[in-house]
């Protein structure tokens, strides 16, 4: 699965992804790219899981209450809502 490969390449994390997409969107990742269908998946890993990442694009964990820079700032609220939903499912 492409999402699993990207998680390993971008963040250095090898994990099983949850079976249902966490988010679906149509967006362009660069001004000169055509919009594409984007599926985002979730994975549950221990917080102390070490992160790797690509050269010049370091990965790091973010506190959900933190404001972090993003190419798509509207994703912060979507990510927060998804994590809250996951936490409710675990109860």
pLDDT value of position 12: 92
Which pLDDT belongs to residue 91? 67
DSSP secondary structure code for residue 64 in this structure: T
pLDDT on residue 8:
93
State the Cα–Cα distance between residues 10 and 57, nearest whole angstrom.
8
Listed as ranges, residues in the chain with pLDDT below 50 are none
For 36, half-sphere exposure in the C-beta direction (CA atoms, 13 angstrom radius) is: 10
User: Which residues are bridge partners to 58 per DSSP?
Assistant: 53
Asked if residue 51 is part of any domain, the answer here is: no
State the total domains in the chain: 1
32 in a domain, yes or no?
Answer: yes
- What pLDDT is stored for residue 73 in this prediction? 85
Q: For the whole model, what pTM was predicted?
A: 0.76
Identify the domain containing residue 36 by its residue range: 2-44+57-89
The verdict on residue 19 lying in a domain is yes
**Residue 11 in domain:** yes
Residue 79 in domain? yes
């Amino acid at each position: 699965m492409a999402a699993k490969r990207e998680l390993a390449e971008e963040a250095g994390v090898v994990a099983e992804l949850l079976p249902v997409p966490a988010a679906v969107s149509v967006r362009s990742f660069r001004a000169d790219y055509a919009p594409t269908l984007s599926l985002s998946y979730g994975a549950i890993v221990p917080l102390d899981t070490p992160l790797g990442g690509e050269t010049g694009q370091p990965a790091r964990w973010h506190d959900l209450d933190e404001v972090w820079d993003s190419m798509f700032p509207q994703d912060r609220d979507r990510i927060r809502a998804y994590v809250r939903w996951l936490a409710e499912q675990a109860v």
